[in-house]
A and B are shown apart, each in its own frame.
Chain A
Amino acid sequence: MPPGLIEGIYLFSAILFIAGLKRLQSPVTARTGNQIAALGMLIAVIATLFSQKILTPVEMIGGLAVGGLIGAVMAKRVQMTAMPELVAAFNGFGGLASALVAAAEIVRMVLSQETSIEVTPSAFPYVSILVGMVTFSGSLIAFLKLSGNMTGNPLEFPGRYTVLIIGTALIIASIVWIFFGGDLILCLLVLAALAFIFGILIVLPIGGADMPVIVAFLNALSGLAAAATGFVLSNSVLIISGALVGASGMMLTNTMCVAMNRKFWQIMVGGFGGDSQEEGAGKLADGRTITSTTPDDTAIMLSYARKVIIVPGYGLAVAQAQHQVRELADVLQEKGVEVKYAVHPVAGRMPGHMNVLLAEANVPYDSLFEMDEINHEFESTDVVLVIGANDVVNPAARHDRSSPIYGMPILNVDQARAVVFLKRSMRPGYSGVPNLLFFEPNTRMLFGDAKDSVSELITEVKAV
């Protein structure tokens, strides 16, 4: 295959990627968008196979078959509630692949040097290994945290900064060493090991509440790793695609930071929010107490409401109550109640987490509203049902300057006529901040597992 032709085909693939991503601007066109992007990938792979003349059929076809099979099984088997950890895992594989390709390139360079061809050392493969390995190990920790195999609490240890600073110095030193005739393979191994440790150290101190940011950030890194590999191989389609993904991930990272009113560096410092095991008090210092309620009382409130807004949070995903919630909304709508959903941008553990869960339960996407679209509607809402959300509705974010969540844009549920919290216990949210809304006179607490509570609500509403 002439080199011009393969370049043209790669460019065509890149165009298909852009065309496919553009279609993600609307849920109506998104499906074909994904198919167009997948087609672009298929074309690029087939063209590469032909241009390489399949010199090592066992390795090439075998590698594709093994990887394809593993990927397909993972994609088919995954529960929608496990989507955050799956996305983290795929990010990790992407980063690992980029690092390995760069490593193979270095080994090839060294071997061709031995056969007397002089090669100028380049920093690109090392940058690629660095970014790729950080993506890999960072995603690995994110995966372990999100899947619950490791505590969601921020893990900090003394001397973390010292380790990070020494590590950075070593990384710079080893890259400089390459240009002064250092052993290329040794540099490779040192850098890969350092980058692996770095990725772990970066993600360990990130608490549950900040997970959406870190998942988006790892997504950006996986793209940048691919772009770096593109620079190594001077392959334009890798550079273009990597940059596209990098831009997408950075945009999402930024959106998540804005939605929490926190700076990216503040999140990277870590230590914010984990699974609090402490039971929050049912009583405030000034004597105000919470009012708990029962499913039948709540059912009466809901049945006679004109308008109900449901606010889902991570607790909904944990309880896997999305199908019950949809059923409750259906039953209410049959009774003539207007039901809408209000989704905060950082609800859950990754960008768009709640939307995917509710879509799985067949909630039509046009009844899901973003914060800015729905915030003015709470005033005219009779009942707000908060299911497994906490910090995103905490009014402390608005007026308590001492609160760690101060300044975070929240859903104005306190403006509704009545608020019912479906919660397991009085445990505070991931920020560890007590929610004063619990103690308001128009707030009711419905304690119990979200799935059980909603199921009971369905039965009671039907009986009203």
Chain B
Amino acid sequence: MTPYTFFILAMFVGREVLSKVPQTLHTPLMSGSNAISGITIIGALVSAGMVGGGWAKWLGVAALIAATINVVGGFMVTGRMLEMFKKKAED
């Protein structure tokens, strides 16, 4: 499969799966999916680990910090929010 196939297919899967998310969960959906977009962290790790890449490495380190803020903060805050969504019976 070419990268384009992956891209189009994933967009389609995303639309199918996420259009059924209720309005109540739209904020957690945004912050949770945003944490997933922090997957750039993998690219950042590779860049930060470059030996002999000169100052490219430091761009990688900066990317790594930004991506990790995105990932850790995003998942944690989504967890915090979802913790609060309760049904009557669970009170």
Using a CB–CB cutoff of 8 Å, the interface residues on chain A facing chain B are: 10, 13-14, 17-18, 20-22, 24-28, 30-31, 33-35, 37-38, 41, 44-45, 48-49, 52, 54-56, 59-60, 62-64, 66-68, 70-72, 74-76, 78, 80, 83, 86-87, 90-91, 93-94, 96-98, 100-101, 103-105, 107-108, 111, 215-216, 219, 222-223, 225-227, 229-249, 251-252, 255, 343, 345, 350-353, 355-356, 359-360, 362, 364-368, 370
Contact = CB atoms under 8 A, between A and B. Distances in A.
Contact of B88 (A74, A76, A364): A364
A317 to B, nearest CB: 12
A227 B11 CA distance: 11
A18 B47 CA distance: 26
B84 A63 contact: no
Q: Which of A37, A90, A246, A370 has the most CB of B within 10 A?
A: A90
Contact of A350 (B30, B54, B80): B30
B79 A35 contact: yes
Contact of B21 (A25, A87, A223): A25
Interface of B: 3, 6-15, 17-51, 53-57, 59-88, 90-91
Contacts of A37: 32, 35-36, 75
Contact of B24 (A100, A248, A352): A352
A232 to B, nearest CB: 8
A241 B7 CA distance: 9
Nearest to A106: B56
Contacts of A63: 44, 48, 61, 64-65, 68
A252 B26 contact: yes
B34 A41 contact: no
A104 B28 contact: no
A362 B25 CA distance: 15
Nearest to B14: A247
Nearest to A352: B26
Nearest to B83: A31
Given A222-B37, A359-B85, A364-B86, A243 B67 contact: no
Contacts of A105: 43, 47, 56
Contacts of A97: 38, 40-41, 44, 63-64, 66-67, 70
A64 B38 CA distance: 12
A72 B80 CA distance: 11
Contact of B27 (A232, A352, A362): A352
Contacts of A104: 47, 50, 53, 56-57, 59-60, 63
A28 B89 CA distance: 12
Given A25-B17, A90-B34, 11 more contacts: A71-B71, A87-B27, A101-B47, A223-B36, A227-B7, A232-B43, A237-B39, A243-B10, A244-B33, A343-B24, A352-B23
A219 B34 contact: yes
Contact of B49 (A21, A44, A56, A80): A56
Contact of A351 (B30, B49, B61): B30
B13 A18 contact: yes
A101 B63 contact: yes
A65 B84 CA distance: 28
A87 B42 contact: no
Nearest to A63: B64
B85 A27 contact: yes
17 contacts: A24-B21, A27-B82, A34-B28, A54-B49, A55-B50, A56-B49, A93-B69, A93-B73, A104-B50, A231-B3, A242-B37, A243-B11, A244-B11, A355-B24, A355-B27, A359-B81, A362-B84
